[in-house]
Chains A and B, each alone.
Chain A
Amino acid sequence: MKKTGKNKGQFFLSLCLLSVFVLTAFLTLSSFSGSADPYDTEAGKYTRDDLRRGQRLFKGLMPFSSGLHDCASCHYPSRTDTMNWNPSAHDLAMLWLEDDDYSIREKLAMPIGTRMIEDHMGMSVTEQEEHYLEAYLMEVARRGPGELQAIPVNAMIFWGLGILMALAIIDLLVTKKIKTKVFHVLILVVGLMVHMQYAVAESRNLGRTEGYAPDQPIKFSHQIHSGQHEIDCQYCHTISKFSPSAGIPSNNTCLNCHSVIREGTNSGRFEINKIHRAEASGNAVSWIRVHKLPDHSVFSHAQHVNAGGVECQDCHGPVETMHILMQTSDLSMGWCLTCHRDSNVDFSANPYFQTYQRLYEKVLNGELDAVTAAELGGEDCMSCHH
C-alpha cells in the first residue's frame, strides 16, 4: 500500500514537472510563431521577391537608382516608445490604401511643404522601385502598426521564480540532491512572498492605467498647442465648464485654426492633413481614450472646472509639457477623496454657499479653520456612485 502511495506521489510530481516544461516550451514557441511566415503575398499582384526587394529598398539595404536612401530611418516600420514626428511606414501605407492615385514617384517629384522638400531633396524612384515599395507597404498595412515590444521583466521574474519553486519542491520531496533544506525553504518563502506581492500589486492596479500614453491617430502635441502657443485648455475642450464630459474637440474645432495653418514645424503637412482627410471622408478621427473611469463612477468636469475652480493640471498633470498625452494620476477613489478632504471651499466665491450659513459663520468666528469639500458632501458615496 505504502509503495503504491509513493508511486502515485512520484507520478504526480513528474506530471507537474512535465506540465511546467510543456507550458514553458509552449510560451517560448508561441512568441516566435508570429514571425514564421510573414510574407503572404496578395492575389499574385506582388511576388515574394517584390516584397523582399521593397523591404530592402525601404530599409536602406539596397540602393535606389538615385542612390541609397534609408526610408526607414525616418519612416519607422515598427512602433517606438519615443515621439517620432515623421509619418511611420504604416501611416504611409494607410495613405496609399486610401488614395488609389497615390504615387510615391509623384510625391517625391513634387514635394509639398518646407519639411518635405528639405528632407526629400534629391530623391527619386523609378516605376519599378515604386512597385517594390508598394508591395512592401501593402504588407505593412496588412500587418498593422504592431505592438511595442518591451522586455517583460516582471513576467520573467514571476515565471522564473515559479520554476525555481517547482524545482525546490521536486528536490525536497523526490530527488533530494541538495541536503541543506534551508535552501528549499528559503526559495519557497521568498518565491511565495514575491508572488503574493505581485498578485496584490497587480490586483490593486486592476483597471488603473497610470502612465498610460497610447499612440494617437494624429500626432497631436499638447506641448506645442497649450505649452508653446499657450492656447487655453477650454478653447478646444469647450464643454468642460458645462458638461460632465470635457469633450474631445470635434473636427471643426481643429479646423478653426488648421484651415489656415496647414503645416507644422515638426510634422510638416502629414499630420495636419489628417484633419482635412477626415473632413473630406466624413469619418471622424478615432482618438484613443486616455482617462477612463469605471462605469459605476460619475464624474463631472463642470463641477470641478466651473464650480470648484480646479486647474486642469491638478488632475491631468503638466499636460502643456507632453508631446504624447499621458495619464499622470491613478484616478483611484483614494486619490479623489484625498483631494476632497484637503481642498478648502471658498465660501465667499459663490452665493450658492450661502446655503451653508451656519458653517460660514463658524469660519468667520474662527470656530472652524476652513470647510473642506468633503464636509459639503464630497465624501458622500452617492455623490459619485449613483
Chain B
Amino acid sequence: MMKNNYWKSIEEKEGKESMEEMQEQQDSSMMEILANESNNKASSRRDFLKWCGISFVSATVISACENPVKKAIPYLTQPEELTPGKGIWYASTYQNGNEYCPILVKNRDGRPIKIEGNYSSAITGGGTTARVQASILTLYDNGARYQQPRKNGQAIAWDEADREIMAQLKAFSAQGRKMALVTPTLLSPATKALISEAQEAFPGLEVVTWDPVSPEAIRKAHLESFGNAVFPEYRFDKAKLIVSFGADFLGSWISPAVHARQYAATRKISQDKPEMSRHIQFESRMSLTGANADERIPVKPSEQLNILMALYNAMARATGNTGIDGPNVDYDVNALARDILANRGQSLIVSDHQSTESQVLVNAINAMAGNYNHTLLTGNPLMTGMGDDTGLEQLVSQMEEGQYAAVMFCNSNPAYHFHNQEKIARAISNTELTISFASTRDETAETCTYILPDNHYLESWNDAMFKEGHYSLTQPAIHRLFDTRQMQDTLLTWMGHDNDFHSWLKEYWSTNLFGKQSRYPDRESFWMHSLQAGVFEHPVSPVVLPAIRTAAATEAIQKLRQHVAQNTGTEFLVYPHLSLYDGACANNPWLQELPDPVTSVVWDNFAAVSPAFAKANNLSDGDEIRVGNKITIPVLIQPGQADDCMSIALGYGRTQAGKAGDLVGSNAFPLIRMDGTTRLFDGQLGAWEKAGSRHRFARTQTHFSMEGRPIVRESTLDKYRKDPAAGNEIRAYHQKYALTLYPEDTFEGHHWVLMIDLNACTGCSTCVIACQSENNVPVVGKDEVRRRRIMHWMRIDRYYNGETDNPGVVFQPVMCMHCDHAPCESVCPVAATTHSVAGLNQIAYNRCVGTKYCINNCPYKVRRFNWFAYANNKAFDYHKNSEFGRMVLNPDVTVRERGVVEKCSFCVQRIQEGKLNAKNERRKVNDGEIIPACVQGCPAGALVFGDLNDKNSKAASLIEDSRNYHLLEEFHTLPSVGYLTKIRNPKV
C-alpha cells in the first residue's frame, strides 16, 4: 500500500486542530445556545393545529389566486442575425494595461453573459485567465460604475463638460502651459495614433505611460544590453530547462494565459512522448509557479539576487567569459550552469525582479545559454511593459510644484497605486484642471474635478497589438448601459472631429493594415472579416538584435551588490495577486471570493511568513502586525515561504472601489519605493511590531478534507519511463478487488467523462470562475466562507508533501465525479438526485427538499447547500441583488432557491445544446464539440471532456492511459472523472 504523506495544513500535519476548526466549534456551540433558547418556548399541540389550519386556509386562498398575465413582446423589426433564445458570439479583445486576451463574448437576447477565449488567436489559442472570465461582471456593476459625467461630484451634461474643458485646454495650450495624460501601457495602435494627434491639437500635452505593476525593467535592460529597448517574446514551450527567479509566470507575470499554454505543452507526457521540461524556481513566497516547479528553492529576495549573480559568474566561467568574484551562495550554481549549457538554446531564464540591473544579468545569462532566437524571440517583440516609473515620479513632483495646468487620468489610478500617497494627493490638488476617464469608481477619480466616464470594454470599439504584427479588435457587445462615452470619442470631440472612434478605427485599419494582406480585395470585406475573426496577423520584418554588451553585466553586478548590501534583516516582497492583480478589479465579488490556490484565503491579503519565522517571533495565523506607519496586516504562516521574509499581495485595501472591494485587506503599495529608474517591489522590511489585534481569515483550506487517502498520486519522470503506471500502482490492487453483486451499468449512446491531467493543471483557478460565470454560482461573502459555505461547484484542492520549510505542492481540481454508482443518489428520500442515461449524476432543484443526506453521503464533498436565497437578498449584496448584476445570469441555468442542494452538472445545458445541434444537422456529435465551461476556460488544456462510448474520442483514449486513476476507487463508486498522475522531473 502507498504510504500517504500529503497534508493540507500545518495543523493537519502536526495532528492538531486547525484554527478554523476551533473557531468553527465555537461558532457551533453558539448555535446550540441559540437553539436551546428557542427550545424553551416549547411548541404545543395547539400550535401544531394552528399551523395546520393556517396552511389549509392559505392553500385554498393561494389556489384561488389568478395566474399573472405575462406579456410576449416581439421585435418591431427583428435583426437578421439574431435568433431570440439562442446565443450569438462576438469576437472581441480584453485589454487592461499589460493584460491582453482575445475573447469571444456570448450574447443572449442582447446582453453579454459569458466570456470565452478566442481560438483563432495564435497567441492565446483560446486560453483565458480568471480575470478575463470575471471581467464581464464589471460591465453590470451599477454600484461602482460612473453612470454620467460629473463635475465636483455633481452631474453635468456631456456637451457642457466638453465646452468647459475645451476652453480651458485651448487656453492652457495658448499660454504654453504643460498638460499631461496618464495612461497605462496602451496596446491599441489606433488609440496611440489618436493620442499623438491630440498632442498636436493641444500643444503642451504630454503623455505619461505608467503601469502599477510593470515589467518595464525587461525593456530597459534590453536597452542596456543590446541598445534596443525590445520586449522579447518568451517561449516556454521550446524550453527543456526553465529557471525562474521569482517570476510567477503561471500566475501573474506578463501573460499567464499564454505561458500556461506553453508550459503545459512541455509538461504533458505520454508513452509516445515520455519527455518533459525541468523547472527550477528560486523564490521568496510560495507562488503558483513555484508550486508547479520540479525543484523549488525558497530564498529571500536579496539571496535570489546573490544566486543570480553567482549563476552569472558560473556561466561566465563555463563559457570562457570573464566572471567577477560573485558572492558565495548556498546553492550549487556551477551544476546549474552546466545543466543550462547542456541544454544550449533550450533553456529559459526569467526573473520578475524590478531592477534593470538584475534583468541585465538575466539577459547576459540567456545570451550565454544561447537562448536568444530560440526560447527568447525578439523577431516579433511584445508591446507590453511600455510604462516608465521615472516618468510618473517626475510628473508627480512637478505637479506638486504646480507646474502642470491640467492632468488627465485614463484607466490609471495613481492615487491608490502610487507608493507615496500624500505626495500624489498634494500633486492632484495642486493641479488646476484634473480629469478622470475612469469607468468605475476609483481613488483618483474621486479627487478629480471632472469625471468623464469611459465605457466598459464590452461597450467599446478598440484594437490591440500585443505582439508586433498580431492585431485584434474590440467591438461592442451591448449598447451603452449608462450615459458614458469612450475616452477616444471624448478626445475626438475635443479635437473637433465629427466622426466617432468607430470610424476612426476603421479608417486606421484601412490605411495601415489593409495593405499588409492580400486575402481580401476590398477594404470593407477586410474589415468585416477581421471583425468576425477578432484577430488579424501579418508577417513583419524581424527585429535583429546587435551583439550583447558584456560590460553592462559587470556594471549591473556592482549596482546589485550595493543593493543587496542595503538589505539586512527581515525583508519584504510585494506581488500582484493572482486574481486581483493590481486591484483595479477589486470590486469584482467573483474574484474576491476566488480562493487563492496556494493559501486558499478569500476576501483578504496577508503577510505570509515561514513557520520557522513565526515560531521565532511567536506569531500565529491571524496576528496583526504593523510595519512602520505604512501598513497593518495579519500574518499567515505559509509552508515553503523563505525564512526571514514577509510577502504581501497587492491589490487590496482599496478605499473607493465599491461595496465589494472597499476596505478588504490592506494596501501594500506604500511599501514600494523608487530605486534608480524603476520601482522595487522588495527590500528591507524595517521596524515592525505586533499590533496586538487578531484577524480571522476566511479560508477554504481545510474544507472538504478527504482524511488522508491516496487521492493525489505523483511520481517522477524516471520512474514513469520504467513503468507508465508509476505512482499509480495501487490502482491495479483496487481493480483486482472491485467486485460487485450488481450487474454492470451500460450506457447506450453517450457516456460523458472528464479527464484531468494533473501534470498540465497549474492550479490557476480560471476554471472556477468560468464555472461560476456559466452556472450562476452565487457569491456568499467572507462570513459564510468562514462557515464553510462557499458555493463554487468546482474547487482546486491543494496538497502539500514533505517538510513545512519547503514542501512539494500538488493541485487537484475537484468537481462532481458523476459516479456511476453514486452514493448520493441512493440516499435521497425524494429521488431528487438520479442518474441519467448518459452517465450524468443529476439533481432536480425543484424536487429537492434539502435533507442534505446526499451531501453527507458524498465521499468527494462536492455538493453545496443553499443556506440562503442568494438572489434578491439584501444580506448578500453582491451582483445577484441588483437588477443590473442579474443581467449576467445565464438564462439556460436555473437560479437556485434557498434550501436546495446543487453541484456540478458537467454543464448539462451545453451538452443538451450540443446534442441538439447534432440532431438538427443530422449528424453524430463530434469529439470536442461539447465542452463544459471549465474545459473551455482552461489555458493549459489540462481538462478533456468527451464521450467514453465514442472510442475515437480523446477522453476515451486518456481513460485507458496507465496514469489514469479515479478518486477513492476502493469505494467502487465508478466516477466519471479521471485524473492522470502527476509526474515531476527532479534532477536525478
Contacts and interface: CB of A to CB of B under 8 A. Distances in A.
Q: Which 4 A-B pairs have the closest CB atoms?
A: A202-B63, A245-B85, A307-B919, A382-B842
A333 B73 CA distance: 26
B846 interface: yes
Contacts of B893: 386
Question: Among the interface residues A282, A289, A377, which one has the most CB atoms of the partner chain B within 10 A?
Answer: A377
Contacts of B837: 375-377, 380
B77 A251 contact: yes
A292 to B, nearest CB: 6
Question: Among the interface residues B845, B905, B920, which one has the most CB atoms of the partner chain A within 10 A?
Answer: B920
Q: State the majority secondary structure of interface residues on B.
A: loop
B719 interface: no
A12 interface: no
B668 to A, nearest CB: 42
Interface in B910-948: 912, 915-916, 918-920, 922-925
A250 B77 contact: yes
B63 A203 contact: yes
A198 B60 CA distance: 8
A381 B834 contact: yes
Nearest to A255: B77
Interface in B27-76: 56, 59-60, 62-64, 67, 69-76
A358 interface: yes
Given A286-B71, A287-B71, 19 more contacts: A155-B64, A195-B60, A212-B67, A239-B83, A248-B73, A251-B75, A282-B76, A284-B74, A286-B72, A286-B73, A289-B69, A296-B894, A307-B919, A355-B925, A355-B950, A377-B836, A380-B836, A381-B847, A382-B842
Contacts of A296: 845-846, 894
Nearest to A198: B60
Question: Among the interface residues B77, B85, B908, which one has the most CB atoms of the partner chain A within 10 A?
Answer: B85
Given A249-B74, A385-B845, A243 B84 contact: yes
Interface string A118-147: 000000000000000000000000000000
A360 B802 CA distance: 55
Contacts of B631: none
A382 B69 contact: no
B543 interface: no
B920 A383 contact: no
A244 interface: yes
Contact of B920 (A251, A307, A377): A307
A284 B923 contact: no
B260 interface: no
Question: Among the interface residues B56, B64, B72, B916, which one has the most CB atoms of the partner chain A within 10 A?
Answer: B72
Interface string A19-55: 0000000000000000000000000000000000000
Nearest to A154: B64
Nearest to B920: A306
B748 interface: yes
A84 interface: no
12 contacts: A199-B63, A202-B60, A203-B62, A241-B920, A249-B74, A252-B76, A284-B73, A375-B748, A377-B838, A380-B834, A381-B844, A386-B905
Contacts, number: 175
Nearest to A291: B72
B676 interface: no
A300 interface: yes
A253 B725 CA distance: 64
Interface of B: 56, 59-60, 62-64, 67, 69-78, 83-86, 748-750, 832, 834, 836-838, 840, 842-847, 892-894, 905, 908-909, 912, 915-916, 918-920, 922-925, 949-950
A282 B76 CA distance: 7
B64 A300 contact: no
A239 B920 CA distance: 13
A351 B922 contact: yes
Nearest to A382: B842
A85 to B, nearest CB: 23
B846 A385 contact: yes
A199 B59 contact: yes
A286 B73 CA distance: 5
Contacts of A295: 894
A314 to B, nearest CB: 18
A298 interface: yes
B823 to A, nearest CB: 18
A350 B950 CA distance: 18
A377 B748 CA distance: 10
Contact of A239 (B64, B69, B77, B85): B85
Contacts of B919: 303, 306-307, 350, 352
Contacts of A282: 76
B748 A382 contact: no
B748 A356 contact: yes
A352 B60 CA distance: 48
Given A292-B70, A352-B918, A358-B748, A381 B86 contact: no
Interface in A95-138: none
A359 interface: yes
Contacts of A354: 924
Contacts of A298: 892, 909, 912
A306 B56 CA distance: 45
Nearest to B834: A381
B593 to A, nearest CB: 23
Given A278-B76, A350-B919, A376-B837, A288 B845 contact: no
A110 to B, nearest CB: 30
Contacts of B64: 155, 202
Contact of A252 (B70, B71, B78, B922): B78
Nearest to A374: B837
A207 interface: yes
Contacts of B70: 288-289, 292
Given A243-B83, A382-B905, A288 B69 contact: yes
A381 B942 CA distance: 30
Contacts of A382: 836, 840, 842-844, 905, 908
A375 B837 CA distance: 8
Contact of B74 (A250, A279, A307): A250
Contacts of B72: 248, 286-289
Question: Among the interface residues B76, B893, B922, which one has the most CB atoms of the partner chain A within 10 A?
Answer: B76
A286 B76 CA distance: 11
A202 B56 CA distance: 12
Nearest to A284: B76
A52 B922 CA distance: 68
B74 A242 contact: no
Question: Among the interface residues B77, B749, B840, B924, which one has the most CB atoms of the partner chain A within 10 A?
Answer: B749
A285 B72 CA distance: 9
B113 to A, nearest CB: 15
Nearest to B64: A202
Question: Among the interface residues B56, B83, B834, B925, which one has the most CB atoms of the partner chain A within 10 A?
Answer: B83
A224 B438 CA distance: 58
A302 interface: yes
A203 B909 CA distance: 30
Nearest to A247: B84
Contacts of B950: 355
Nearest to A380: B836
Nearest to A203: B63
B64 to A, nearest CB: 7
A159 to B, nearest CB: 11
A285 B916 CA distance: 31
Contacts of B75: 250-252, 284
B916 A300 contact: yes
Nearest to B925: A355
A105 to B, nearest CB: 33
A264 to B, nearest CB: 20
B842 A242 contact: no
Contacts of A9: none
Nearest to A243: B85
Contacts of B846: 294, 296, 385
Contacts of B84: 239, 243, 245, 247
B73 to A, nearest CB: 5
